[in-house]
Amino acid sequence: MLAAELIDPMLPALKPSDSVGQALDWMQEHRIGQLVLTDQSEYRGVVTEELLIDVADEEQPLSDVMRLFEQIYVFDNQHLYEILSLVIQNRMDVVAVLNEGREFIGTVSANELIRQFAQELGVQEAGAILILSLNERDYSMAEISRLIESNNTKIVSSYFSSAAYGQPDRSRLTLKLNRRDITLVISTLERFGYQIEAAFANTPVESIDQERLDSLLRYLNT
């Protein structure tokens, strides 16, 4: 999914002539702590509630207040993952979307990015979550997929987390599967030497003890 498809048409863009009070009212109305500031289609940065509430005069125009992220924006053809990385890195609530001519065309909210990312991962779909701990040199998605599919199970989504420097055996592969009962899947993977770090499913998994299930819950809560 690209930035142009993620634009929220309900989020207003502020103008330099708008007052501090008006900006705060819109932020409250839309339940968001940041809004984009533009000047005739030119992106000028982001104003934040945190900074605006310290302004003594609510009639003061936004042209006179501090702006953030003036050089941080995305283009309409950038992918969801790129945008999400940028937003998380800079702790942004909103990000401006520009076209090829660097004209402002809309705003993407962090909440919408997270919602779409969850859909991409298949979070809402019923099924088990399986976490493998492996050495990077042993990582082969084709091989892992073949073993899982041999048990009439499909991978809905996957996420590979590289190991820290100097710890090649600490890589982690998180899989979302399309079935709740993955006992046979786990048995197959373990038979071929894969280490199951944790598993979570509505149907009990016999080969994973309670300690491993508890460790997954702790992992998801961190």
Rounded distance between C-alpha atoms, residue 20 and residue 52, angstroms: 6
- Distance set, CA 38 to CA 3, 9, 103 (Å): 18, 15, 10
Q: With 60 as the cut, is the pLDDT of residue 214 above it?
A: no
Please say whether the beta carbons of 30 and 11 come within 8 A.
Answer: yes
Residue 123 has pLDDT above 80, yes or no: no
Given a cut of 80, is residue 24 above it in pLDDT?
yes
> Please, which pLDDT band fits residue 67 given cuts at 50, 70 and 90?
very high
Quick one: pLDDT at residue 73? 96
pLDDT confidence of residue 126: 74
What's the CATH fold of domain 123-220?
A: Alpha-Beta Plaits (3.30.70)
Domain boundary assignment for the chain: 3-118, 123-220
157-184 tens-digit pLDDT: 888 887 665 565 678 888 989 888 899 9
The stretch 65-70 carries a mean pLDDT of: 94
Token readout for 23 is: 């900006």
pLDDT top residue among 222 and 105 = 105
Q: What was the pLDDT predicted at 163?
A: 66
Query: Which pLDDT belongs to residue 215?
Result: 56
SS3 98: strand
Tell whether domain 3-118 is in CATH 3.10.580.10. yes
Q: DSSP strand E in 115-214: where?
A: 129-134, 155-161, 171-177, 195-200
